[in-house]
Amino acid sequence: MRAGRARLGYGRGTTSVAAPFAAPSEKDRPEMFEFYYAPETISLASHIALLDAGVEPRLHRLDIAAAEHQQGDYARLNPKLRVPTLVTPEGGALTETPAILAYLAQRFPAAGLAPRDPFAFAKLQEFASYVASTLHVAHAHRMRGHRWVDPANAQAIAAMQAKVPESVGAAFAYIEETYQLAPFVMGESYSFADPYLFTVSRWLKGDGVPAGAAPKVEAHRAMMLERPNVQAVLAAQAG
């Protein structure tokens, strides 16, 4: 793990009634966010939203191929053994992309990452929930079939992989038909749906979805690539 200056898990006990010291007062808390990510994963969405919110987190890069997310302090911080994890100045670790995105939108309302109207906010959550629970899960069947069947069952693993172009393609077809994507997912206003869609749309080719199957999504990805925060995050994650 690079950049290991974080006190991993430092927030876990500070809010506990059993903590041996008083939690810092609101004004004394450091405005430092710690962000744990791995390149080319879903953590890209939260990373972009952090910059959109004006937050420059202390970054912690994890090497998934080396299983760094399954070991040591990180495994204690996020026992689900996944990325991303955001450790907040409030003192707690936050996981699950939709939760991180909604938190940033509410913590930094001036960034305009979500509408304030409750129904419009719920529609945004509807999009994020669909991406997390349907699209992302369909995508995971390509590389992570062992989550659902015995990895020794090569036939079952291959059958799950073979279904990915269709299941991921169907999820993108639903998004293509349902959302405005003109220019942003929800229409004229940028929201946290945009970095989220940008991130998963980078998987289209690898998941075997035929080129041209989702032209609005492809145009959205090209538009997002022009945004300085997207470029900055891609450069930071590549470096």
> Counting contacts by CB under 6 A, is residue 97 touching ligand GSH?
yes
- Positions in 37-96 near ligand GSH (CB under 6 A): 41-42, 64, 69, 81-83, 96
CB of 41 to ligand GSH, least distance (A): 4
Q: What are phi and psi of 64, to 5 degrees?
A: -65, -40
| Nearer to ligand GSH (CB atom), residue 41 or residue 191 | 41
Cβ distance to ligand GSH smaller for residue 40 or 180:
40
**CB-CB neighbours of 67 under 10 Å:** 11
Our CB check for ligand GSH shows the closer of 23 and 99 to be: 99
58: left (phi over 0), alpha (psi -120 to 50) or beta: beta
Contact positions with ligand GSH (CB under 6 A) in 160-199? none
Minimum Å gap between C-beta 42 and ligand GSH is 4
Q: Which is nearer to ligand GSH, 23 or 64 (CB)?
A: 64
Query: CB-wise, 83 or 124, nearer to ligand GSH?
Result: 83
Residues 117 to 156 in contact with ligand GSH, rule: CB under 6 A: 132, 136, 144
Least distance CB 66 / ligand GSH (angstroms): 11
Shorter beta-carbon distance to ligand GSH: residue 63 or 187:
63
Least distance (Å) between residue 188 CB and ligand GSH: 26
Smallest distance from ligand GSH to CB 36, Å: 10
**Can you tell me the distance from the alpha carbon of 175 to that of 207, in angstroms, rounded to the nearest whole number?**
16
The residue type found at 173 is A
Applying CB under 6 A, the site for ligand GSH has a residue count of: 12
Dihedral angle, C-alpha 205, 62, 143, 145, nearest 10 °: -150
- Binding residues vs ligand GSH (CB under 6 A): 41-42, 64, 69, 81-83, 96-97, 132, 136, 144
